[in-house]
């Protein structure tokens, strides 16, 4: 069974493919298809955006699809960047410019006030309709400087609870054991497996 991962983010795709390895599906990214229109992520929640990406991609490609919408919520910033995580520092935002902005906004803020939570919502769609949604969270705090070269996005700044290192200082396998994405995908895998059984 073919499964399309509706993302243009190669880093997310890599993690999702690894986490889906034990399912009897072959995962393809949007890069394997021509002409898939860009989806405007104008939802006010991660779930709205994940549902929209999954449903529209499935409708357009007529395929079985998963979509991930994720973001970092920082307590001191009242939940920002949240749904705006990818474009936090404005037009042309990069991982680096987003991280620099976050460090700037948290300059001189003490450790106790640097709490943050990574969230991931995975929506699963077939025949243009969402058939299930799963969410994962990972609590932690924002460090005082960028540390580590692994992972992507805000990983060099995010120190998960019970650890003294950032996601970017962990191996992919270690991050995958505790991450928001792995928790969301564990739920999504149940939705996918149940759905696949309909085709057997």
| CA–CA separation, 48 and 130 (whole Å) | 11
64 contacts ligand ITT (rule: CB under 6 A): no
Nearer to ligand ITT, 47 or 68 (CB): 68
Query: What would the 3-class secondary structure string for 47-73 be?
Result: HHHHHHHHHHHHHHHCCCEEEEEEEEE
Within 10 Å of residue 41's Cβ, how many Cβ atoms? Answer: 16
What are 61's two structure tokens? 């490609």
Nearest alpha-carbon partner for 42 in 32, 52, 34, 30 = 52
Among 1, 2, 8, 96, binds ligand ITT (CB under 6 A): 8
Nearer to ligand ITT, 100 or 194 (CB): 100
Among 47, 73, 126, 155, binds ligand ITT (CB under 6 A): 155
| CA–CA separation, 75 and 37 (whole Å) | 34
The residues that are catalytic are: 69
CB of 164 to ligand ITT, least distance (A): 18
Residues 6+ apart with CB under 8 A from 177: none
Among 85, 146, 166, 169, binds ligand ITT (CB under 6 A): 85
Stretch that binds ligand ITT, among 7-15, 101-109, 125-133, 183-191 (CB under 6 A): 7-15
Query: Which H or E element spans position 143?
Result: none
12 contacts ligand ITT (rule: CB under 6 A): yes
| CA–CA separation, 73 and 112 (whole Å) | 15
Nearer to ligand ITT, 114 or 200 (CB): 114
What are 31's two structure tokens? 């890069």
58 contacts ligand ITT (rule: CB under 6 A): no
Which residue of this chain has its Cβ atom nearest to ligand ITT in the complex? 153
Nearer to ligand ITT, 71 or 132 (CB): 71
Q: Which residues here bind ligand ITT, judged by CB under 6 A?
A: 7-9, 12, 41, 68-71, 85-86, 95, 98, 151-155, 167, 179, 181
């Amino acid at each position: 069974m073919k499964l399309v991962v509706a993302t243009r983010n190669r880093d997310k795709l890599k993690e999702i493919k690894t986490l889906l390895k034990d399912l009897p599906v072959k995962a393809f990214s949007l890069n394997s298809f021509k002409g898939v229109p860009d989806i405007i992520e104008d939802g006010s929640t991660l779930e709205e955006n994940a549902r929209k990406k999954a449903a529209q991609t499935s409708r357009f490609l007529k395929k079985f699809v998963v979509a991930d919408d994720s973001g970092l919520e920082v307590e001191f910033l009242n939940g920002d960047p949240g749904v705006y995580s990818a474009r936090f520092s404005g037009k042309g935002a990069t991982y680096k410019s987003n991280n620099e902005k976050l460090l700037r906004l948290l300059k001189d803020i003490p450790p106790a006030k640097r709490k943050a939570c990574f969230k991931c919502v995975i929506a699963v769609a077939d025949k243009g309709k969402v058939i299930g949604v799963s969410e994962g969270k990972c609590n932690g705090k924002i460090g005082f400087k960028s540390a580590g070269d692994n992972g992507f996005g805000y990983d060099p700044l995010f120190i998960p609870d019970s650890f003294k290192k950032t996601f970017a200082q962990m191996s992919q396998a270690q991050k995958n054991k505790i991450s928001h994405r792995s928790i969301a995908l564990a739920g999504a895998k149940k939705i996918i497996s149940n759905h696949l059984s309909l085709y057997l």
